[in-house]
Structure 1
Amino acid sequence: MLQPAHILVVGGGYVGMFAARRLSRKLSPRAARITVVNPQPTMTYQPFLPEAAAGSIEARHVVVPLRRMLPGCRVIVGEVSFADHQRRVATIAPPQGPAFELPYDILVLAPGSITRTLPVPGLAEHGIGFKNIGEAIYLRNHVLSRLDAAAATDDPARRRRALTFVFVGGGYSGVEGCAELADMTRSALRYYPELSADELRWLLVEATNRIMPEVGVGLSAYVAQRMVRRGIEVRLGTRVTSMVGGHVVLSDGEEFPAETVVWTAGVRANPLAARSGLPVDRTGRLRCDAELRVWGVPAAWGAGDSAAVPDLSVPGDATCAPTAQHAVRQARRLADNLVRELRGRPLRPYRHANAGSVASLGLHQGAAEIYGIRMRGLVAWLVHRAYHLMMVPTVNRKARVAADWALALLFRREIVPLAQVQAPRRDWAVAAHTPAPAGAGVLPEPLVSRRAARQPAGPPRREPPAS
């Protein structure tokens, strides 16, 4: 009797989770065993990170538990450090314990992208990432803590430093994150009578000549104009050249202190494919054909941000952009083609029709371009929410997100910071290492006597023999 094929899915993001879910539904346990390896036990719906950071959505509602989504699959929390495809063995490094090898028959490589950084002095020490839910929660608490710090001082220089917020990178993450958090701070000022809106300074720094390159030029210009009208400075054709000690230096010569610098300047391919000796392009993305198979490598598949998949909707040698829209669609096609190959059927190429783009510019403001139709303002904002509510996985998460939005219509924006999350063991460490005051923990004399009187008499105490 033939053994079921072992399919190893590396990555639990859009491609990994949706492909594994579709494979488990189409293949019986006798046909295939599916293992998903991901550094976290959850999948993050990244388009909701800006709203989670701004408090419009509960942070737990932005992540989806992989084990709940993939009941027919084995989920391993760990990182694949190397894939020896010739031996069909992957090396997995779990969060604790030694690394181990896991044999497989078919490889689906979808580890996603990682943050692209540049050699900017001070970036590692003072920059804040914005790619996962932990960074979103940290950023929210940090921004609110800067309001507290500014309200607690009368030093103008100290206040300017605390109330200057910089986003580096004008893609979706930078634009939406900057707009949402700027809205949050303005909303929070009603609770800070010591501060005024004029003291807040928000900057979006973009190295190219326009923001949001994924949308058309006209819509990109509209987004920039709306952000300026909402009090956000948009610096195009400008780079951050240094941020040593929290002192930000721009390529146009301006210098200023800032305690908040958020890095959203793009992503790059996960280096796993190149490290494993699989074919990659000049940017390090896994080279795949239109059927989502790895070029020249049998039983290996790839899709998503770290895969260079031909874009058949445009002429030339273009590849699909690293977007969530592509990732979700590629996951379906990859799973279907893998099933077709196992059953000896012809494969189908990945071809898509671009549905458009949606973006939130803060509360009740948005920009959208759906099938060539441009929308702005409140209508675009509603379309943005409707689209992402439809796309977020599971009915459970849809209902929770919808409930968050409904409560936000009835009550003011939640601005409670959870500062203890930044260093949860700090108070315990202080308590555990502080010497107890004299007499602490010693029972009063009468109480000691009463307890001793209630104790039954034990055997007589024997003295140790003399040495």
Structure 2
Amino acid sequence: MREIVIVGGGYAGFYTAWRLEKTLRKDEARVTVVDPRPYMTYQPFLPEVTAGSVEARHAAVSLRRHLRRTRLIAGSVTEIRHTDRKVTVRPVHGADHDMRYDILVVTAGAVTRTFPIPGLAQQAIGLKHVEEAVAIRDRLMTAFDEAASLPPGAERRKLLTVTFVGGGFSGVEGFGELLSLATAMLKSYPELSIDDLSFHLVEARDRILPEVGDKPGAWVVDSLERRGAHVHLNTQLVSAEDGHVVLSSGEEFDSALIVWTAGNASNPVVHNHTDLPVDERGLLVVRADLRVGTDSEPVQDVWAAGDDAAVPDLASPVPGAHTVPNAQHAVRQGKWLAKNIVAGLRGGRIRSYRHASLGVVATLGLGRGIFQYKSIVIKGFPAWLMHRGYHVLAVPSWERKIRVLSVWLTAALFGRDLVSLLSVQHPRDAFVTSGDAQRAGESRAIYRAA
């Protein structure tokens, strides 16, 4: 059988494997997905996970539940050697080993881009995975509990100061949702007021949400500032040591929660550990039909899609443009890639990927959103409904759609669930503490008996 190895189980990888399962005949090929996580993260739901509007597990799509005919390997690909038709796999447990393939699909995705800013690695948290979204929510809720027991002052102010660095979709949506959550929580904390909250959004460029036009972007800034947020444009983070934020504008403040969403970087495996062609950004050079290589020099039996691939955008009027690295393209590229692989195996016609944008939509918090399609702009509650409607249709499987809808309906009837489970991140603390106390008691008893 032909061996098809898919590097990465994100959007593009998951949908490629899912479609291959549906179209490949039995014994026509064996599909293997290599990914360290046992699930595909539906990233558009992460901002709502931070606000508690979507349960964390509902933003994660189980690979084993939906890819029943695919071999799944829990690990990471550390090197690609196409000259030998091999990839090096580093499993979660055990030694590295080589895996042979006949057809390779590279959908490793991008990684969070960081900079050598003092204190960033020690203080900040990203917003790219489910566990990060859950941690952000729990930290904010725990900060409310701690701040409510403190008198007004610097310590309380630091606990209730939140800083997001990065004004792209991930940063703005996460910022807006967390601001909405914090405002709603004040009703349950009579000791605190809106004046105690301090939310800062830091963006190095002169505008946020580059995917929308100038006027809609300015409206989003105005909307956030009317809700009490501080939006710092043309500003960079200089330092975050010990939670003390220093901005390039000269402003300084203490912040207990710092979220870094300042863009993506090319995957190190694709950029540094492969003999496949990459461009100056570290992305795989991809043809319009999603095969790796150029029109004149294609790489045989290697395909790529998603954030680690520079896919030509045939729907763009700009010569040489590439598709935007977002979920909309990754999902469609994965499905298209699977169709082309099957066509190649059966001697059929391989077609170029072409998809015009359906527009962009973002949530800015409960009941608030922004949508733009060409010159059409919709703001506020209707855009928020469009955001929820689109993504509940886009999330894979009816099981996930129903679970998400049920959580939204429950929240509409009973409100948000304002329970912090920060202690889950240290599950043995209670066990260890009780054991230490018990041993200390026994020691005292022995001492008194002696």
The question of a shared fold, defined as TM-score above 0.5 by the shorter chain, is answered with: yes
Q: Counterpart of 2:313?
A: 311
Map of 1:191-230 to 2, 5 A cutoff? Answer: 191-230=188-227
1:255 is aligned to 2:257: no
Q: Which runs of 5+ in 1 are unaligned?
A: 443-467
Q: Counterpart of 1:79?
A: 76
List structure 1 segments (4+ residues) > 3 angstroms apart after TM superposition.
Answer: 438-442
Residue 371 of structure 1 and its aligned partner are, at CA, apart by: 5.6
Distance 2:91 2:430 in 1: 30
Q: Counterpart of 1:464?
A: none
Residue 349 of structure 1 and its aligned partner are, at CA, apart by: 0.8
Map of 1:22-421 to 2, 5 A cutoff? Answer: 22-154=19-151, 156-274=153-271, 275-295=273-293, 296-314=298-316, 315-370=318-373, 372-421=375-424
Distance 2:96 2:84 in 1: 17
Write the deviation string for residues 206-238 of structure 1: whole angstroms up to 9, x where unpaired.
000110101122221111111111111111111
Residue 43 of structure 1 and its aligned partner are, at CA, apart by: 0.5
Q: Counterpart of 2:441?
A: 437
TM-score relative to the length of structure 1: 0.91
Describe the SS at the equivalent of 1:321. coil
Is the Cα contact below 8 Å between 1:311 and 1:351 reproduced in 2? Answer: yes
Distance 1:80 1:287 in 2: 19
Residue-pair matches, total: 439
Q: Which runs of 5+ in 2 are unaligned?
A: none
Is the Cα contact below 8 Å between 1:5 and 1:33 reproduced in 2? Answer: yes
Q: CA 1:167 to 1:439, structure 2 compared with 1: closer, same or farther past 3 Å?
A: closer
Describe the SS at the equivalent of 1:334. helix
Identity %: 47
Q: Counterpart of 1:447?
A: none
Distance 2:35 2:442 in 1: 51
Q: What is the Cα-based RMSD across aligned positions, in Å?
A: 1.5
Residue 361 of structure 1 and its aligned partner are, at CA, apart by: 0.8
Q: CA 1:174 to 1:269, structure 2 compared with 1: closer, same or farther past 3 Å?
A: same
Describe the SS at the equivalent of 2:6. strand
Is the Cα contact below 8 Å between 1:184 and 1:415 reproduced in 2? Answer: no
Is the Cα contact below 8 Å between 1:22 and 1:332 reproduced in 2? Answer: yes
Describe the SS at the equivalent of 1:294. strand
Write the deviation string for residues 146-188 of structure 1: whole angstroms up to 9, x where unpaired.
1122112215011111111100000111111111111111111
Write the deviation string for residues 1-49 of structure 1: whole angstroms up to 9, x where unpaired.
xxx2110001111100001111111111321000011110000100000
What is the letter of the counterpart of residue 437 of structure 1?
G
Larger radius of gyration: 1
Residue 430 of structure 1 and its aligned partner are, at CA, apart by: 2.0
Residue 333 of structure 1 and its aligned partner are, at CA, apart by: 1.4
Distance 2:270 2:252 in 1: 40
Residue 85 of structure 1 and its aligned partner are, at CA, apart by: 1.3
